[in-house]
Amino acid sequence: MGSDYSIPEDWDRVYILDASCAPVRVFDFGVEVDWQITIGKQYELYDRLPEYGVEVRTRFSCWASMNDDNPPTFWTTIRGNGLDHLYHSATWDEAQDKHRRVVEKVRRTLPRNDVL
């Protein structure tokens, strides 16, 4: 018998990362939420760049659709200044690198909007 937070097996797939950073499917939203607010925090990056009007955030998605066999991914989102975009990465190392490159590109290509 599942908990009140159980996830049906035929529902979209929910994952956490194990100690080696490999996705592990879970069948309880409580497990997923507990992981996100504890261990999952180490898989999040956030850069607020107000001088460019942009925010860049990277995190593990915890979700994969039943409509395909694609595994869950890390998402890097850029929002603001007309640059709203979502990038996917298969690994945490790739996601960290992508996050760094997105922040660097913003700083290199956008004009600063400093308010004096």
* pLDDT at residue 92 is higher than 90: yes
Predicted pLDDT at 12: 81
Predicted pLDDT at 116: 44
* pLDDT at residue 3 is higher than 60: no
Rounded Cα–Cα distance for residues 88 and 42 (Å)? 18
Tell me what the mean pLDDT of segment 95-100 comes to.
98
CA atoms within 13 A on the CB side of 29: 8
pLDDT in tens, 32-57: 999 999 999 999 999 999 999 999 99
The pTM of the full predicted model, rounded to 2 decimals, is 0.85
